[in-house]
Chain A
Amino acid sequence: MKHSERRPFPWHILFFLLPGLAIYLVFSVYPLLDTLRMSFYGDAADGGHAFVGLRNFVTLLTDSTWSDAFWNALKNNFEFFFIHMLLQNPIGLLLAVLLSLPKLRLRNTYRTLIFMPTMLSVVIIGFIWQLILSPIWGIAENFMYGIGLGNHFDSWLGKEGTALITLGLISVWQFVGIPMMLIYASLLNIPDEIVDASVVDGANPLQTFFYVKLPLILPTIAMVSILTFVANFNAFELIYAVKGALAGPNFSTDIMGTLFYRTFFGFQLQQGSPTMGAAVATLMFLIILAGVMVFLLVVQRRINRFQL
């Protein structure tokens, strides 16, 4: 009798999980694992691949032919990331707060306009900004003269010192809509009673924001930061669209994505190397993994969550 009381195995759950799981395994898990495997192989004399252990990684990190390019790309990538952390997310937060002001008119129009670039293709964004900033056809120079800063105009995308920062700012402009939307949504979730209570308690708007609203949206900001980190270390398209795979001038805009592309697929007369490319991809994966782990262990745990 006892036996019949046991619930049958929930086959239907497995059935519904299966399609998604299969797609995830085939198109995400398998390529990832195979990339990790391939990074331990090298070109063999007979034209095939042979197991070489950690040799690819040793070359990549110690042989100056590769390591100079690698460290340069990593440094640039961190710069690219910090530009986003310092500008994109604070600006996104500010825009979200402005959007949630109760007296704001044309709210939906602003929201749509600010979010619009995010939906455009990176190739179009790259093309538009190259035109705007072009010293020949662009409107940036005249605009700068119009506000009295004409002498400060330069071909920012072409100079070693400014190219990466300019590309970073373009990317910030494009993607600022994402933190804005996410934070805006969580601001809307804050019940009016809590805000009303703080007003009754005599808090001014700034105090209401810093002591009531900000702690409530911190988990969202933390999530936005993780998304920014992962997206920036996987970035590739904008640099490739604007500067090409050689990420000039003098590799000043080379990030992990473009380094991987050149290594794996080759470029012009350079032959691609799938195994070395896999090693670069593996390092990218490890960097992102480490970043996310540090974040989850150190930051995420200390954030208080409030049941609303």
Chain B
Amino acid sequence: MSDLTKHPFTRSLLALALGAALSGPVLAKDKLAIESWRSDDANIWNDVIIPAFEKSHPDIEVVFTPTPPTDYNSALQARLQAGTAGDLIACRPFDASLELYKSGFLTNLNDLQGMAAFPDVAKTAWQTDDGKDQFCLPMASVIHGFIYNKAIFKELNLSVPKTESEFFSVLDKIKEDGQYTPLVMGTADQWEAATMGFQNIGPNYWKGEEGRKALIDGSAKFTDEPYVKTFDELAKWKPYLRRGFESLKYADAQNLFSLGRGAIYPAGSWDIQTFNTQADFEFGAFMPPVPDGQGTCYISDHTDIGMGINSKSAHPEAAKAFLNWMASEEFATLFANAVPGFFPLSNYQVSIKDPVAQEFVSWRKQCKTTIRNSYQILSRGTPNLENELWNVSAQVINGTLTPEQAGAQLETGLSKWYAPHQK
């Protein structure tokens, strides 16, 4: 017998028999494939998230099949049209996914049980314009604020600013001391000025969702006080930036801060990962300081990634089970800790271990949240509002455009194509 099993032919026969015996139950499993652009997180999905799901759902097998971010939209489109796309589809916020839904590639998720775990703001990124149809489950968001160097704050005996005037007096003290750059940012790439500047401090002025919706229905204009005031504050940043900030790029700013040469860094929560690996000092975060005398604070908690179901999926029930699991507390905890800086959007109190990420997410309880005001509907026309925002925000900080001119330019651009602003 032992001789027999050594014979190659017999061995392969045995292997076949064994394989057939094992693959029986495997074939019975529903196999789900996930389409995503987060190739950076592939190991987190494969090692942490999917095993956790399969543990509680032994009858479903999941594979993560990411595409690089720059190819994702077009590759996904092609696969959906050819009918070879995966069962679960990672959704970009707003128009890109909306187009997929309108073309019938995504399943309507209005009746998905797990959807109840999410606040309305989180859901808007994956709804039709009238808010009636939901086509993706919110997955993660990024939050804006300021990251600061704790060692420098201790050395100069500074405390974390809560109001705008406190913020500027802290900046003044750092500037007086002269050793460190008070505010670390550059305008060469332009998007930091818009994203980490305008969208970071702005919600406090335009009252978050209230102002964002007013812009969409046309009852508010960029020439209104909240927007001009936001630009006013941005213009006041200039003296606290490093000399030559006009040609400072995003990576330069990250390096300056992680080398300990600057005190405060206007941030997106995704920066936490960079500083965790690069900075050898302790850093903390504070929320955008409120204008003096304002009680309520508003933060940008921008919906960045969602998950939907391919309408042609062969296993719609298994896919729904996965989405419902994604709406659970278990997933929220796993995801938040595996990728610090990307926050789950569900209503649970998630315990996050990273202290800075914890600080960021704690603001959700204290403040009202909103998303970037240029993302929904308003960036569909020409000139493109998001591009305009980059340009004017950078110019306001550079000092080549006044806050009033900046507001006027945005409003003129928007009124060229967007009917509610043509009145």
A interface residues with partner B (beta carbon < 8 Å) = 65-66, 130, 133-137, 154-160, 243-244, 246, 248-251, 262, 267-271
Contact = CB atoms under 8 A, between A and B. Distances in A.
A100 B190 CA distance: 47
B204 interface: no
B338 to A, nearest CB: 27
B189 A244 contact: yes
Contacts of A244: 189-190
A157 B417 CA distance: 33
6 contacts: A130-B247, A135-B242, A160-B400, A250-B395, A269-B95, A269-B379
A136 B242 contact: yes
Given A248-B390, A248-B394, A250-B391, 6 more contacts: A135-B242, A158-B248, A159-B246, A250-B400, A250-B401, A268-B191
A271 B95 CA distance: 10
Interface stretch (B19-27, B40-48, B162-170, B381-389): B381-389
A144 to B, nearest CB: 13
Identify which of B242, B244, B382 gathers the most chain A CB atoms within 10 Å of its CB.
B244
Contacts of A246: 190, 387, 390-391
B256 interface: yes
Contacts, number: 100
Nearest to B401: A250
Contacts of B188: 157-158, 243, 248
Interface residues of B, number: 37
Q: Chain B interface mostly helix, strand, loop or mixed?
A: loop
A251 B248 contact: no
Nearest to B186: A158
Interface in B386-423: 386-387, 390-391, 394-395, 398, 400-401, 413, 416-417
Nearest to B384: A270
Contacts of A130: 247, 249
Contact of A155 (B245, B385, B386): B245
B98 to A, nearest CB: 12
Nearest to A157: B247
Contacts of A155: 243-248
A136 B244 contact: yes
A137 B186 CA distance: 14
B375 interface: yes
Contact of B387 (A160, A243, A270): A270
Contacts of B385: 269
B190 A158 contact: no
Given A136-B256, A269-B95, A249 B394 contact: yes
Contact of B246 (A137, A249, A268, A271): A249
B187 interface: yes
A136 B245 CA distance: 9
Contacts of B246: 155, 157-159, 249
B252 interface: yes
